[in-house]
Amino acid sequence: MGCVQSFRALCDRPKNTNVRISLPAVCFVWQIAMIILFGVFIRYDEESDTHWIEHRKKENISSDIENDFYFRYPSFQDVHVMIFVGFGFLMTFLKRYSFGAVGFNFLIAAFGLQWALLMQGWFHSLDYTDGKIKIGVESLINADFCVAGCLIAYGAVLGKVSPVQLMVLTLFGITLFAVEEYIILSLIHARDAGGSMVIHTFGGYYGLSISWMLYRPNLDQSSNLQGSVYHSDVFAMIGTLFLWMFWPSFNSAITDHGDGQHRAAINTYLALASTVLTTVAISSLFQKHGKLDMVHIQNSTLAGGVAVGTAAEFMLMPYGSLIVGFCCGIISTLGYIYLTPFMEKHLKIQDTCGIHNLHAMPGVIGGIVGAITAAAASEEHFRGKKTLSPFLNQRLINTFDFEGAFKNMVPTKQGGHQAAGLCVAICFGIGGGIIVGCILRLPIWGDPADDNCFNDEPYWELPEDEESAPPILHYNNHMANKDV
């Protein structure tokens, strides 16, 4: 542990500096920069541009209804609700940090999706003929996915960082996300429709590494604010239910139209249902008097959706989805009971929302399930009417995108590529989190003091508490004397 403390000390600067970067300055400068960059690089794609009519004739498209907007927009709306409502309300469990949970979630999501459109565009949709990034509805979905990784990381440092630190976390997080996504999906050629590896594993370990770098030994000064109250847990449960309901859309949003998208929604639906029952059973089993812990119900019930993400469009089979959900319900719930306290005490990782149990571990499980399912794929599962080779057929080719440079790929080799993608996500999450954590330790970001953590007051104008309002005198209470 002495080496760890020395490493953190190297990242520190004298605390007596008066230089602070203000939130208004960051917001104004960033938005002006985005306007300039969008003006230079961003344009509509052929399906959202006014040249859609010419594109229809060229591609022999019979109707406007075949525009990708009509296929993708419902899923986009569902994912959008998850990002802004689901993630936001899931983090409102702290008794005095609800404004920060929902408000800063709103801020960094709106901040991040603009940068995500640029970063992902440069890697995936740059038109080299004119040097422009062409965006459509699928670009918006992918930008939301990119932001999701940063919101996951936010959960680990919830209540312990300033809004400027969150924007720095998001800026670097989206940059790292775009790079690792390109490596995993394009160079390694792993499939990850629901983002178990690219989103959840990366976001989870990115946030945990930052939390490790920002460890606060005196955080007990805010211990009275670290818990929840009855109504804050109810609000957090709203976020859980939104996420739970829309997770099938999340995992199927960018899959191929037809059977792949249909299969992804079914697999996610079943895994989530299985996770709920398992979580309830384990929570009751390990609590005194057989009662349920609301922390487990808010979080572990979602772990199945995370873990089934990579294999969602594969032939996982309905019973396989139930098995994934069953295992994740056990592992995630036990993680909250045993691992979270162990990590804080021995590893010095203060994980406010328990993202290790909801995102990091289930994301790794999802990557492993994806690798096994891909390697075990056979012609019997993907049998079509026309077999193109002794083993491969068109459905197998479509599912794993065995085209171009990967046309000779076989499922067993694809399983190895899936495993390699998982390793890249973990390395980028941990390595990137440590580097960004070093940056966030600088005092210029205005991080809150230990006794101001988990408290909205340093950053928000708060209404007076109801119980602190002055009492109304009896003789002046018109409602009490309305019958007189």
Rank 229-233, 377-381, 469-473 by mean pLDDT and report only the highest.
229-233
Mean pLDDT across the chain, nearest whole number?
A: 89
Please report how the helices 68-81 and 230-252 are oriented relative to each other, as an axis angle in degrees rounded to 10.
160
In whole angstroms, give the CA distance from residue 156 to residue 154: 5
pLDDT digits (tens, 9 = 90+) for 302-345: 999 999 999 999 999 999 999 999 999 999 999 999 999 999 99
11 burial type by CB count under 10 A (0-12 exposed, 13-18 middle, 19+ buried): middle
Within 10 A of 177 (CB to CB), how many other CB atoms are there? 31
Name the residue with higher pLDDT: 68 or 383: 68
- The angle at the Cα of 397, spanning 394 to 400, to the nearest 5 degrees, equals 150
Rounded to 5 degrees, φ, ψ at 127 are: -90, 110
Please report how the helices 163-182 and 98-124 are oriented relative to each other, as an axis angle in degrees rounded to 10.
30
Question: Given the structure tokens 């929302």, which residue do they identify?
Answer: 353
pLDDT of residue 6 exceeding 50: yes
Q: What is the mean pLDDT of residues 150-179?
A: 96
Report the residue count for the chain.
484
What are the structural domain ranges in the chain?
73-456
Q: Which CATH class is domain 73-456?
A: mainly alpha
pTM confidence score: 0.90
Range with the lowest mean pLDDT among 92-96, 104-108, 257-261, 268-272? 257-261
In whole angstroms, give the CA distance from residue 396 to residue 256: 13
For residue 412, the model assigns a pLDDT of 87
Q: How far is CA 415 from the centre of its chain?
A: 24
User: What DSSP string describes 55-103?
Assistant: HHHHTT---GGGSHHHHHHHHHHHHHHIIIIIHHHHTTTSTT-HHHHHH
In whole angstroms, give the CA distance from residue 252 to residue 239: 20
Under DSSP, is residue 473 helix (H, G, I), strand (E, B) or coil?
A: coil
pLDDT band at residue 469 under the 50/70/90 scheme? very low
| Spatial strand order in the sheet of 42-44 | 42-44, 132-135, 126-127
